[in-house]
Chain A
């Protein structure tokens, strides 16, 4: 896998290479080159299968991290290609032409994170939610507990506590 990474590093602007497990590595690439890197890995290095595409919200830095996890069915290795994109007006180039199942992931990301993939099939349609009018729910600034308390009718008498402080107050009341 080292040779492969050297090959990638000589061709693309990459950083933060981590060999997580024997068969699993993560590498960060800049936004412009991301789709070309994924296509290059698919066509020249037999990373022909898409495992998943997902996003992570780094709200403190104002970034979304997109992870394209692709695997090679010949030597059973996997590479996670990380892309950092801006949180404001988040848009990413669509890659639905690479795999047939990519469009589903992009639809989900559009709905749950609000990341747009222009040109992806059925991207405007609802995937999971129906009639949602709040900010996309998987974003970190969406508070699901507050939303629940205001929307659904919580049954009175149910309280929840932070387990650490609650157990401490029960077991060591004098501390």
Chain B
């Protein structure tokens, strides 16, 4: 696979939007030497995401079973749907019994619940969180607004179709979906993973250029690396 071709996308005037801490600069190290720093290159892996080929038969089956039984959810309430996630942790709905639990950082989680509409400003953060999650990773899209815009179909600041920006595994319709619907969504996701059909992280790697072009179309102040993990 061709690597490091991040310049393939439409060149944006990045310098205009850079925060001062992201600008190129030289820094005096404690030992007296001068170090050149380019924060947008230095701290991030510049490689494109790669497609992971499934292992052979029974091994992949076992791995899929293991993945399905421990879904760790990223605790990022991106929209109003996040109000129905706390009840899931309480004894009445109790998602722990399905092996589902909340994690505070993307590095530890493999399920991202997009809880409702995404404004452009949040989409930018959601993409970064998604890319930082280790593969295999799955996305559950909550609420009608992720499907076609829902309530906010004519709002100038919310996206209409989530699947144009990040690949979605399971949609849960409703405004807002009940906790039971969320549990049903987790059950559906488990089925998909066990059947080996939840391959959207690979889908993202395959159609990386298309997703990036869509993202850059609406995020006009693109002041972050093209890919980071």
Is there an interface contact between A153 and B120, defined as CB atoms closer than 8 Å?
A: no
Is there an interface contact between B148 and A148, defined as CB atoms closer than 8 Å?
A: no
CA distance A148 to B148 in the complex (A): 12
Is there an interface contact between B156 and A158, defined as CB atoms closer than 8 Å?
A: no
CA distance A137 to B221 in the complex (A): 17
Which A130-156 residues have a C-beta within 8 angstroms of B? 130-133, 137, 142, 144-145, 147-148, 151-155
Is there an interface contact between B160 and A153, defined as CB atoms closer than 8 Å?
A: yes
Q: List 13 A-B contacts (CB under 8 A).
A: A129-B121, A130-B124, A130-B221, A131-B219, A144-B154, A144-B155, A144-B156, A147-B156, A151-B217, A154-B153, A154-B160, A155-B149, A158-B148
Is there an interface contact between A152 and B220, defined as CB atoms closer than 8 Å?
A: no
CA distance A52 to B194 in the complex (A): 55
Known: A130-B124, A153-B160, A155-B148. A148 touches B155 (CB 8 A): yes
Say how far A145's CB is from chain B's closest CB, in angstroms: 4
CA distance A144 to B147 in the complex (A): 19
Say how far B112's CB is from chain A's closest CB, in angstroms: 20
Known: A154-B148, A154-B149, A155-B147. A129 touches B157 (CB 8 A): yes
Known: A130-B121, A144-B154. A152 touches B219 (CB 8 A): no
- Asked if A160 is at the interface of the complex by the 8 Å CB criterion, the answer is yes
The size class of the interface chain B forms with chain A is: 20 to 34
CA distance A152 to B220 in the complex (A): 13
Partner among B17, B124, B147, B160 whose Cβ is within 8 Å of the Cβ of A152: B160
Interface of A is mostly: loop
> Quick one: CB contact mask for B126-167 with A, threshold 8 Å, 1 for yes?
000000000000000000000111000111111111001000
Is there an interface contact between B148 and A152, defined as CB atoms closer than 8 Å?
A: no
Is there an interface contact between A155 and B155, defined as CB atoms closer than 8 Å?
A: no
Pairs of residues from A and B, 5 with the lowest C-beta to C-beta distance, nearest first? A131-B221, A131-B220, A155-B148, A152-B160, A145-B154
Is there an interface contact between A131 and B164, defined as CB atoms closer than 8 Å?
A: no
- A residues within 8 Å of B by Cβ? 129-133, 137, 142, 144-145, 147-148, 151-155, 158, 160
CA distance A108 to B148 in the complex (A): 29
- B residues within 8 Å of A by Cβ? 17, 120-121, 124, 147-149, 153-161, 164, 214, 217-221
Known: A129-B157, A145-B154, A147-B156. A152 touches B221 (CB 8 A): no
User: Which residues of A lie under 8 Å from residue B159 when comparing CB positions?
Assistant: 152
Is there an interface contact between B153 and A158, defined as CB atoms closer than 8 Å?
A: yes
Q: Which residue of B lies closest to A145 (CB)?
A: B154
Say how far B161's CB is from chain A's closest CB, in angstroms: 5
Q: Which residue of B lies closest to A157 (CB)?
A: B148
Is there an interface contact between B221 and A148, defined as CB atoms closer than 8 Å?
A: no
CA distance A155 to B141 in the complex (A): 15
Say how far B157's CB is from chain A's closest CB, in angstroms: 7
CA distance A158 to B154 in the complex (A): 12
Q: Which residue of B lies closest to A134 (CB)?
A: B156
Interface centre among B155, B157, B218, B220 (most CB of A within 10 A): B157
Say how far A90's CB is from chain B's closest CB, in angstroms: 20
User: Which residues of B lie under 8 Å from residue A160 when comparing CB positions?
Assistant: 153-154
User: Which residues of A lie under 8 Å from residue B124 when comparing CB positions?
Assistant: 130
Is there an interface contact between A148 and B121, defined as CB atoms closer than 8 Å?
A: no
User: Which residues of B lie under 8 Å from residue A147 when comparing CB positions?
Assistant: 156
Say how far A151's CB is from chain B's closest CB, in angstroms: 6
Is there an interface contact between B121 and A152, defined as CB atoms closer than 8 Å?
A: no
Say how far A111's CB is from chain B's closest CB, in angstroms: 12
CA distance A158 to B221 in the complex (A): 30
CA distance A155 to B146 in the complex (A): 11
